[in-house]
Amino acid sequence: MYEEKITSIIEDPAQEFDIVVRITREEDIAVARQMAKQLAQEIGFSLADVTRIATAVSELARNIYRYARQGRIMIRKRLEDRDSPGIEVIAADRGPGIPDIELVLTRGYTTWERSLGIGLSGVKRLMDSFAIHSEVGKGTVVITEKRRRAF
């Protein structure tokens, strides 16, 4: 399932993203966060939601850097529904994968020494939808979305 996901996301030219940030260095975490913030502002999200989205992207980018060393953050506007446009954030890597997804979504669980263990569970709380596909030895894809609330 992971293979299918990552192939369709990374290799299919039909998948157009507004922003693709390659995460290879620590500094790229802040770059991804800044880019996400800008796009969220363009879509017209409230300041609270812009902050939520930027924070979620920060957590996802850091996970890539920490566990997989490299990967991508891909972001696109979702404008099909004109009343409530949204933003989709995909974090993909070909890192070690996650053996127990339930466990990593448990608040406070972490395999990293200097960490609160709030990263992924935090992303899930901050965004509207959250899906994770992972396979040990192959990698991890997190797909998450936030809709702009109708005014």
Partner 1 sequence: MMSFEDRVVPIMQVDGYLLVPIQIDLDDRTVGRLQQQLLKEIERTRARAVILDVRMVEVIDSYISYTLSETAAMARLMGCRTVLCGIQPPVALTLAQMGVTLQEVAVARNLEHALVLAGSFQERDKGV
User: CA-based angle 85:86:87, to the nearest 5?
Assistant: 145
Any contact of residue 147 with partner 1 (CB under 8 A)?
A: no
Contact by Cβ (8 Å): 1, 39: no
Q: What is the DSSP string of 94-141?
A: -SS--S-HHHHTSTT--SSSS--S-HHHHHHHHSSEEEEEEETTTEEE
* x/- letters, 19..58, toward partner 1 (CB under 8 A): -------xx-xx--xx--x---------xx-xxx-xx--x
CA distances from 101 to 3, 18, 108 (A): 17, 28, 14
Interacting span for partner 1 (CB under 8 A) from 76-84, 96-104, 108-116, 139-147: 108-116
Any contact of residue 96 with partner 1 (CB under 8 A)?
A: no
Any contact of residue 103 with partner 1 (CB under 8 A)?
A: no
Contact by Cβ (8 Å): 28, 61: yes
**Within 113-142, which residues bind partner 1 (CB under 8 A)?**
114-116, 118-119, 121-122, 125-126
Residue numbers at the binding site for partner 1 (CB under 8 A): 26-27, 29-30, 33-34, 37, 47-48, 50-52, 54-55, 58-59, 62, 107, 114-116, 118-119, 121-122, 125-126
